[in-house]
Structure formats: structure tokens, C-alpha cells
Structure 1
Amino acid sequence: MQTALHSRCQRTCKAASSRPGSAKVPVCRGASLTRSATATPAGALTNNGASMDWHLQKLKHVVDSGDFNRAAVDVVFKEALKMEKVRPGSPESRVLEGYIMSTLFYEPSTRTRLSFESAMSRLGGTVLSTESAGEYSSAAKGETLEDTVRTVEGYADCIVIRHSQEGSAKRAAAVASVPILNAGDGPGQHPTQALLDLYTIQREIGRLENIKIGMVGDLANGRTVRSLCMCLSMYPGVEVFFVAPDVVRMRDDVKDYLTKRGVKWTEVSDLREVAGLVDVLYQTRIQRERFTDMDSYNAARGKYIIDKELMKILQPHAVVMHPLPRVDEITTDVDSDPRAAYFRQARNGLYVRMALLKLCLADKMTADDLNK
């Protein structure tokens, strides 16, 4: 787990405590989550009484789902619940006033990029962004990722990065003096998506322990399911069903990871069988951009589709999730079903990312303070 605190946070923590946004209690905004807004009381979002201080968790960067323990997840969840209630113009909406976030996206994005930028703006911060960084930044001239990060950290207090190469976020974190938040590194990791997925499951189902989840679609290339598996392994009684075409089955490293942590997993070919068993059906699209062989892509797509007929099998309390975008793997007539949670899931991404930015940038206690 990362242990160092970034120097800029140390320099600014005293100043941050006197900012208008230093109040701890948010003003009620009125959450718009229809199915989940009243499903889970605030207290149910935590499981172990974790301290609310982020730096007790000794996290500097958000690059790997494996860096999070249950205490750290609880801290994020408590803060995200507050973020749901932040109202424009309130002191809480200015907590990141004076801070700058840079977004470096080398791959396309809608939800992740806009939710990060919206999160920063809703907390009073400023965004520096480059469109298609691989094409329109100095990377097109041959600049290394490390040099780009070293340059951009001089302009910003944190960097949100999405890259096509697995492990790129860790490379960035290795040279950065400001927090790096991994917004997806190829088929590798997507830790903020995993956190918002956990948050959504907790809000929708009411628990993270003793759940059954079916993961469907492109599991070999799906960084969202990989990261989510790592996070779910922290909770007892979780059972995972992998449903995927042969060419995109879940990779062995994730299955080994789950096995070592005592998580039961099964590979299943019948989606209808899984739909009747699970609390969460987590669908993913077949990622065409990850294929070099279009014959393999065509063989994989369209095999597992969630439609109204399949929804009849789903248990009444269960939910369907999807990291989006979807192509044809969930039919649009499912959208009106109250168990279709994927747009609520996307909205939760805003609150979780607001929480992470606030915790990384505006937590006013440093590790030195805590150890006195």
C-alpha cells in the first residue's frame, strides 16, 4: 500500500483548514436515486467502524484496487454519502476551491472523464484537460508518459489518467509527487469504477457480504470486472459466477486471486441459470477495440444478452449493473425495470469521485500530525 503523502498536501493542509469549504457537515441536496435513495440507511454503508481520517489508510494514489482494504473503502463510502447531499453555493461546494485537477485521457471516455470533471467542479476546483492525449498532447511527438506526468504535476494538484497500456497508472504514480487517480489502464485496472460499483451494490442490495454476483461478457479485457473482483474478495460469503464466450473468459490471474482469498467462483455457460441465482447481474460489452482478430470479436458478441425475457428470471431484489457504454448486450426495454441499476450506477460515480478528490486533496490531517 502506498505510504507517502504528497508534498503539496503537506504544504497546503494548514491553509485548507481556513478555507470556506472546511465545514464537515454537508447541506442536504435531496438525492435523486429512485430505487436506492431510501433502501439503505447511512449507517449501513459501513461495516467495521473505520476511522474517518483518510491518511490513516496511508493511501497517496488511487491506482490499484488491491491497495484498498475494508477500512479505506468505508472511509470513501462515508464521504460519498455526504457528497450526495452537497448543494451548489454551500460551503461544502467550495472545499476544493484553489485546487487544480488535470485529466490526461489517452483513450475515449464519457462517464469517467465527465464525472471526474463534474466532481472537481462541484467541489469548487478547476480542471485542466487535454482531448485525446495520445494524439493532441506531446505524446504524439514521442514524449514518455513519465515526462508528461512530471510536467503536468507542475500545473495541477492531482492527475487523473486513462491509458491504453496496462500498468501505465503505476508508472505515472512512480514518478509523481501529486496524487494519481487511475481512470483505466487498458485491460488492467479501473479502481474508481470498482469503488463506485461497490457503493452501488451496497446502496441497492444493502450489503456487500454474502452476495452472489454474475459477471457477464468480455471478462478477459474488462478492467472493471477485474477490479471489482479484487474489491469483493474483502467481503465474506461472496460467490462469483463468470459467464463469458470462450475467447474472452476471465483470466487465470483473477481466478487465482479469488481462490487464494477463499472466494468461491464458478464458470457457467448458461446465463439464464445464473440470472435466477444472483443478487447482482453485472453485464459488460464485448470490447471491439481490444480485438486484433475480427472473427474472434464476431464470435464473442451477441452471445449473452439481457432482455425482458431474461429479466423475468431475475430475483425481485436483484439488480442489473453495467459500467457502460452498452452496445447490444442489454436491450433498451430493460431500462424501465426498477432492477436496472446501470444509470444509477453511473450517477454514483460522481459521488464516489467527489469523495476521492476531497480525501486526496482536502483532508486536513497529515501523517505527521496523526503520529504525534
Structure 2
Amino acid sequence: MFHIVNTDVFDRESLNRLCHLSDAVRQIAKETEGARFLQQLLPTKRAMLYFTQPSTRTFLSMNNACHVLGVRTSEIRDPEVSSEIKGESFEDSIRTFSSYVDLIVMRTPEPGYAARAAALMDSIPRPVPIVNAGSGRDQHPTQALLDIYTLERSFEQRGGIDGKTIGMMGDLRRGRTVRSLSRLMRHYRDVRLVFIAPPAFEMEPDIKAFLDEYAIAWSETAALHEALPDLDALYVTRMQFEHDTDGESARVDLSQFSIGRAELDIMRPDTVLMHPLPRGREIHPSVDSDARAMYWRQERNGMWMRVALIATLFDAQERILDAVDRYTP
């Protein structure tokens, strides 16, 4: 594992290892001495956070994941403050970053840029890992990792993800998080996916074809209330209005694709409710206090999973696992 451009680099074994490592990191970090130990693991490493698309959670969790491990960070969040405004090519910018740092984490509004950066790194004498933190409407692999981690922790007493029915609701056509998570389902047994979306925002055909290729059961519906009682988990997404070309998001009746108190009454008492955030009107704030609402834990899980990922990229995982007993009360 060198570049993290899409979810294809993961298999069931590596997903299990990353979840286990995330547990170990969060356990060690509970103790002051443990937190100091983590900060001393990678103090000579440097990371570039190149985020030219707005981000709160992914940027902050990546930044703080680096800090947990002692990695120093630089950032560019606006291409107008870089030499790109002077006409420098994307490839030249990436190669410049690689001259100064040991890791590039990047997020772009257009698809394919992380793959271009990884291909460039593979062609130069001093390559550094590229981590895709979101590329247009295409992929968001580290979000998928933290989603897997949240599902595994939520289903810890119920046999894990295997055999579960997972609903995905909202703007599935333009949402990259559900695309990446769907692709990871090939590593779990007897999972069934239920896509719940307005007809104009159904899951794209390429993901459906992928699921068919790996014999992963899926169905789709626009009837939320009919689907809710059968779900072990529901992954809610917002309307991706920033991708509108003709105000199409505003034409959706969101009341048919939202979770409030009435929907909680229909859901099973053990259903896991997730959301990658930020949210719009698709989950009412009154739902936050319900025990099934996992999205705030999901948000924090993102930092721990990204710590585990960065530690793995720099071969620090064994030192972490060896230290767990030392820092466990």
C-alpha cells in the first residue's frame, strides 16, 4: 500500500487490520503518556494538505491525525495563493510539494486528479504517497474507511458487517461517499444494499454493475418508510447542490427522503444511523439525541482511522500495536 487513490487497494484483511489499529490508537491516546508516545512516532515526517475544494471534517481530521503522530503539516486551501494562479501546471505543483514533504493529502473538485498525482509520483526518483481525500464526484476512500470502522464498531455485538442490510439514501448519483463505501462491500459476506433516492438521483449504473459483478445483492426504491424496517444501518447523504446545472436539487421533495421523529418510530431499535456530514434538512437536529444516531461518533472515528492509515503508510503500525498493553489502564 503506497498510494490511496481509491478503495481498490484494500481487501478484507487490510480493512480488519486498519480497524484494529484504530482501536489501538484511540486506546493509547487516552493516557497522557500514551499520547506523547504517539507524537514521537513520526516527528521527522512532513505532510502537505492540498485542499482546493472546501472541507471541514476531512481537512481537520487529516490535519489532527498527522499531529497525533507528530507529523508536521503544510497546507494550501486556495489555488489562488499558489503558483497555479501564475500558470503553473497541476503536475508541476504536485512535484514541487513532493520536494518538501513525505506525504501529500489532496482534495479536488474535479475527478481524476489524485490518480494523476499518483501516476506522476510513480515516474519520479523521489516519490511520496498520495492520499485521495475526495476527488470530484468520483471517490472518497478515507471516508469509506471510517464508515467501515463505524459500522464494525456499531455491529461489534452483532457479528460485524457480514450479513447486514445497509440502506443508502439521498443524492446517490453525485455522492462520492456512497460510491466508495459500496465498492468496499465486496469484502463482506451476504451484505444487501438498499438504495433510497429520488428517481433523478439514483445510484449510477457503474456502481450497480460493479455490485452485480461481485454478486452483491442490491435493490432501489423511492419509498423510505417501506424500506426502514428492514435496515440494519441507514447511511444518509445530503443533496449535492454544488453540482447542480439547472437548480435540480431544489425540485426534490426532501420530506420524502429525510429522517425525523416519525422515521425513528419506524426504524428498528438497533438500526445504525450514519451521515458523512455536513447535513442539510435530511436529518432533523432532534434526531441527534437518539441512541441510534452515530454520525457524531462517525466524525470522530475519522480521525482515528486516518491516524491508523498514516501510521501504516509509514510502517509505524507494529510499534503502536506493541505499545497497547503498556498504555492500557
1:76 — aligned with what? 18
Do structure 1's residue 146 and structure 2's residue 110 form an aligned pair? no
Q: Which amino acid aligns with 2:76?
A: T
Q: How many pairs were matched up? A: 305
4+ residue runs of structure 1 moved beyond 6 angstroms?
Answer: none
Q: Tell me, in whole angstroms, the C-alpha distance in 1 between the residues paired with 2:250 and 2:59.
A: 29
Of 93, 100, 104, 2:50 maps to: 104
Of 178, 184, 201, 2:128 maps to: 178
**1:208-357 paired onto structure 2 within 5 Å:** 208-294=161-247, 296-300=248-252, 302=254, 303-357=256-310
Contact 2:42 2:69 in 1 (8 A): yes
Q: Tell me, in whole angstroms, the C-alpha distance in 2 between the residues paired with 1:273 and 1:71.
A: 35
Q: Residue deviations 1:264-292, cap 9 Å, x none? A: 11011111111111111000000110111
Contact 1:205 1:317 in 2 (8 A): no
Gaps of 5+ in 1: 1-58, 366-372
Overall identity of the aligned pairs, in %? 39
Of 96, 110, 126, 1:165 maps to: 110
Q: Tell me, in whole angstroms, the C-alpha distance in 2 between the residues paired with 1:275 and 1:119.
A: 35
Q: Tell me, in whole angstroms, the C-alpha distance in 2 between the residues paired with 1:171 and 1:157.
A: 18
Q: Tell me, in whole angstroms, the C-alpha distance in 2 between the residues paired with 1:140 and 1:93.
A: 36
* TM-score where L is the length of structure 2: 0.90
Contact 1:157 1:361 in 2 (8 A): no
Q: Tell me, in whole angstroms, the C-alpha distance in 2 between the residues paired with 1:136 and 1:362.
A: 33
Question: Are residues 301 and 291 of structure 1, via their aligned partners in 2, closer, same or farther at CA, if it must alter by over 3 Å?
Answer: farther
1:61 — aligned with what? 3
Deviation at 1:86, TM superposition (A): 3.1
Gaps of 5+ in 2: 122-126, 319-329
1:127 — aligned with what? 73
Of 134, 137, 140, 1:190 maps to: 140
Partner SS for 2:266 = coil
1:56 — aligned with what? none
Contact 2:52 2:76 in 1 (8 A): no
* TM-score where L is the length of structure 1: 0.80
Q: Tell me, in whole angstroms, the C-alpha distance in 1 between the residues paired with 2:85 and 2:28.
A: 39
Deviation at 1:139, TM superposition (A): 2.3
Q: Residue deviations 1:215-241, cap 9 Å, x none? A: 000101110000000001211110001
Query: Whose helix fraction is larger, Structure 1's or Structure 2's?
Result: 2
